[in-house]
Amino acid sequence: MNIIIVGCGRVGAEVAYSLYRKGHKITVVDQDPAAFSNLPEDFRGMTMRGDVLTQDVLLRAGIENADALAAVTPSDAVNTVLGHVARVVFHVPNVVVREFDPRKRAMHDALGLQVVSPVSMGSAEIEEILSQQNLHTVCQAGSGDVAICRFTVPAAWQGARLSEILPPDGCRVVCLTRAGRATLPGPDDTVASGDLIHVGATPEGTRLLRQRLNPPQEG
């Protein structure tokens, strides 16, 4: 695929190099020539210096024939504009923008942009670690709209059906792992103590499941 990465900080350089190693045609754009030093020495994609909001720069980067674009500059405003222009003006099929300020989420949703928010994802993981929760987030889609979480079945749930232990809404089983073997269980399948369960859940589904895993202590 022809992929444009706008912004060559640590994230942009890491994404560009990883995609280059997988055989994609990569063009990295940044207005600071020093930023390209973040790329490994064996990166052989194209690098281009210029104002990332200038149409001429985007055209020279090949945006008219791009299959995907990632806007990962240090500015939310720049990323938003770039994402909107790429999607609406140049009809790039796959566009993702990095979001620093989660309060801008409503604007990104209104523009129909795919968003990755390090702040939202990182804060959720730190919260889990600090509060010693039994439910751990593996990854998130969007800005936390849906998370893939995992938990180990406690002894008290031995022999219970999945439909009995999971919230009825906002939570779906992804897989069940027992003795190293993963399966795709149904709602009537029973669990055993020590089973590893992966679920896909909304924020509300995650909250409800966490309540079931960590019931309030009496007294």
Q: Is the pLDDT of residue 13 over 50?
A: yes
Q: Is the pLDDT of residue 211 over 60?
A: yes
Q: Is the pLDDT of residue 125 over 80?
A: no
What integer pLDDT is reported at residue 138 of this predicted model?
79
Mean residue pLDDT across the chain: 86
Q: Is residue 219 part of a domain?
A: no
The CATH number of the domain holding residue 166 is 3.30.70.1450
Residue that terminates a domain, selected from 70, 98, 116: 116
Say if residue 86 is in the same domain as residue 132.
no
The CATH number of the domain holding residue 93 is 3.40.50.720
Say if residue 142 is in the same domain as residue 183.
yes
**Pick from 117, 57, 41, 78: nearest CA to 27:** 57
- Residue 172's CB is within 10 A of a number of other CB atoms, namely 13
Q: Is the pLDDT of residue 40 over 60?
A: yes
Say if residue 55 is in the same domain as residue 29.
yes
What integer pLDDT is reported at residue 132 of this predicted model?
47
Q: What Rg value do the Cα atoms of the chain yield, rounded? A: 21
Residue that terminates a domain, selected from 116, 137, 168: 116
Say if residue 130 is in the same domain as residue 180.
yes
Q: Is residue 150 part of a domain?
A: yes
Say if residue 106 is in the same domain as residue 125.
no
What integer pLDDT is reported at residue 180 of this predicted model?
86
Q: Is residue 145 part of a domain?
A: yes
3-class secondary structure, 170:
coil
Q: Is residue 70 part of a domain?
A: yes
Q: Is residue 218 part of a domain?
A: no
Range of the domain at 163: 120-213
For the stretch 57-112, pLDDT in tens is 999 999 999 999 999 999 888 998 999 999 999 999 999 988 877 666 666 566 66
Residue that terminates a domain, selected from 116, 139, 163: 116
Say if residue 106 is in the same domain as residue 154.
no
Say if residue 19 is in the same domain as residue 46.
yes
Name the region of 50 (left: φ>0; alpha: ψ -120 to 50; beta: rest): left
Number of domains in the chain: 2
Can you tell me which residue has the tokens 């240090």? 74
Provide, rounded to the nearest whole percent, the portion of the chain with pLDDT above 70.
84
Per-residue confidence at 217, pLDDT binned at 50, 70, 90?
Answer: low
User: What is this structure's pTM?
Assistant: 0.62
